[in-house]
């Protein structure tokens, strides 16, 4: 029976302090230093379930004494706080776009190197050794584009071809796992994201001892997907190892007839720019049905963390601070539809992307 659960727990702490020349010992009131909540679903095995875990923690213990007899023992800093905002430009998660990317990256039908596209682009090889333009700036712009769209992908393709036999062997293993009763289980890790750092100054304590600090709020996020590919019952695999290897060879090189739409897209002059603002390339690769299979038990995990890092700038003589930290963390598991979809966005462009656009603008202005 399906059961929805919500659970939470809170951890408290309170130290001790002495005032008035050591004549009075007092206990600090208990304060929250850690709050954890968990929402999940049970009773649906073997189907995956959604999960939500939120953790907030703050800590910082003041110890020491001064010449007046004031003394602190594991005294929790008065104004230590957990960061609640400042995710610093990390974009909201688009589950559909991530699901499509994971499918494209783990699809048993995906190519490792598109040989037809590689040979079609070799006709541009003579131009890669030319630095067009009449000025130094234009020569630099032309050199940048030659590297980004010529030498860099050419070297990448040649490297893939050098590892060709290893890629075919790995694909054969995938095809055999795909035929098993458990299916082909894959895990795909997306690029880690980090946002801009927020800075500030705060007074952490003003009772018994003065403690001031500069702080930085550092946002970061990691995402990964898990899924199981299962072949359609109507699909017939090759019987012999030789035939299976031939199939793996065609898939790895992009020579399978089912991969030609992807080859055409990659060969289009401006497809790279379109994919900066959409996911048509991922959609085509995720939808490639050269091997008739579908993903199941599809989940995307997200671990987002906002950490406040302190640097003490002032503290009363005779006192010290230990265990200073403040963190807010989200751990989510979402079940997603095993269907590729086309999405569009206007993302913040990376340094590489901006350099390409700048080089194009310089050459266009000639």
Per the prediction, the chain carries an average pLDDT of 81
Outline where DSSP puts E strands in 244-351.
Answer: 293-315, 319-335
Strand partners, 74: none
Query: For the chain, how long is the longest CA-to-CA vector?
Result: 89
- Taking residue 103's Cβ as centre, other Cβ atoms within 10 Å add up to 29
Does the pLDDT of residue 67 top 80, yes or no? yes
Does the pLDDT of residue 318 top 50, yes or no? yes
At 301 the pLDDT is 95
Q: By C-alpha distance, which of 81, 37, 94, 32 is closest to 330?
A: 37
Residues 6+ apart with CB under 8 A from 308: 81, 82, 83, 215, 216, 217, 218, 325, 326, 327
At 69 the pLDDT is 84
Lowest mean pLDDT among 39-48, 65-74, 126-135, 269-278: 126-135
Q: By C-alpha distance, which of 142, 110, 105, 107 is closest to 127?
A: 142
* Residue 90 or 243, more confident: 243
Residues 6+ apart with CB under 8 A from 77: 60, 61, 62, 204, 205, 211, 321, 324
Q: Which two tokens mark 260?
A: 């030609």
Does the pLDDT of residue 363 top 50, yes or no? no
DSSP 317: T
Count of alpha carbons within 13 Å of 228, Cβ hemisphere only? Answer: 12
Q: Which two tokens mark 319?
A: 């006192």
Does the pLDDT of residue 180 top 70, yes or no? yes
Task: Report how far residue 100's alpha carbon sits from residue 52's, in angstroms, rounded to the nearest whole number.
Answer: 22
User: Residue 275 — pLDDT band, cuts 50, 70, 90?
Assistant: low
At 155 the pLDDT is 58
Count of alpha carbons within 13 Å of 220, Cβ hemisphere only? Answer: 8
Task: Report how far residue 16's alpha carbon sits from residue 22's, in angstroms, rounded to the nearest whole number.
Answer: 12
Lowest mean pLDDT among 50-64, 163-177, 213-227, 350-364: 350-364
Contact 40, 69 (CB under 8 A): no
At 362 the pLDDT is 47
**Mean local confidence (pLDDT), 186-211:** 88
Task: Give the three-class secondary structure for 37.
Answer: strand
- Radius of gyration for the chain, computed over Cα atoms and rounded to the nearest angstrom: 29
Task: Report how far residue 219's alpha carbon sits from residue 309's, in angstroms, rounded to the nearest whole number.
Answer: 11
Task: Report how far residue 142's alpha carbon sits from residue 139's, in angstroms, rounded to the nearest whole number.
Answer: 5
Alpha helices per DSSP H over 39-196 = 95-106, 115-121, 125-128, 136-146, 152-162, 164-178
Which of 125-134, 248-257, 327-336 is most confident?
Answer: 327-336
Does the pLDDT of residue 58 top 70, yes or no? yes
Task: Report how far residue 113's alpha carbon sits from residue 263's, in angstroms, rounded to the nearest whole number.
Answer: 10
Q: Which two tokens mark 350?
A: 């990376």
């Amino acid at each position: 029976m399906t059961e929805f659960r919500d659970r939470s727990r809170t951890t408290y702490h309170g130290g001790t302090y002495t005032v008035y020349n050591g004549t009075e010992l007092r206990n600090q009131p208990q304060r929250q230093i850690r709050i954890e909540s968990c929402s999940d679903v049970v009773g649906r095995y073997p189907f995956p379930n959604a999960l939500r875990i939120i953790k907030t923690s703050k800590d910082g213990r003041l110890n020491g004494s001064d010449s007046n007899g004031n003394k602190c023992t594991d005294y929790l800093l008065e104004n230590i706080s957990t960061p609640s905002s400042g995710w610093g430009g990390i974009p909201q998660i688009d589950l559909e776009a991530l699901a499509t990317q994971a499918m494209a990256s783990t699809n048993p039908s995906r190519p490792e190197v598109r040989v037809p596209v590689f040979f079609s682009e070799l006709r541009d090889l003579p131009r890669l050794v030319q630095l067009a333009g009449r000025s130094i700036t234009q020569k630099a712009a032309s050199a940048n584009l030659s590297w980004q769209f010529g030498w860099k992908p050419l070297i990448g393709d040649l490297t893939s071809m050098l590892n060709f036999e290893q890629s075919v062997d790995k694909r054969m293993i995938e095809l055999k796992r795909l035929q098993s009763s458990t299916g082909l289980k894959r895990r795909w890790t997306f690029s880690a994201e980090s946002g801009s750092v927020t800075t500030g100054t705060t007074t952490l304590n003003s009772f018994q001892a003065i403690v001031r600090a500069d702080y930085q709020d550092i946002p970061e996020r990691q995402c990964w997907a898990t899924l199981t590919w299962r072949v359609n019952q109507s699909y017939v695999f090759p019987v012999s190892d030789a035939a299976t290897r031939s199939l793996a060879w065609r898939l790895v090189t992009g020579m399978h007839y089912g991969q030609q739409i992807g080859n055409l897209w990659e060969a289009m002059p401006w497809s790279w720019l379109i994919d900066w603002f959409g996911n048509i390339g991922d959609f085509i690769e995720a939808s490639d049905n050269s091997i008739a299979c579908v993903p199941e038990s599809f989940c995307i995990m997200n671990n987002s963390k906002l950490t406040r890092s302190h640097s003490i700038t002032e503290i009363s003589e005779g006192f010290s601070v230990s265990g200073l930290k403040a963190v807010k963390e989200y751990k989510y598991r979402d079940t997603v539809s095993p269907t590729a979809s086309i999405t569009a966005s206007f993302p913040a462009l990376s340094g590489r992307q901006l350099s390409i656009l700048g080089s194009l603008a310089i050459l266009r202005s000639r």
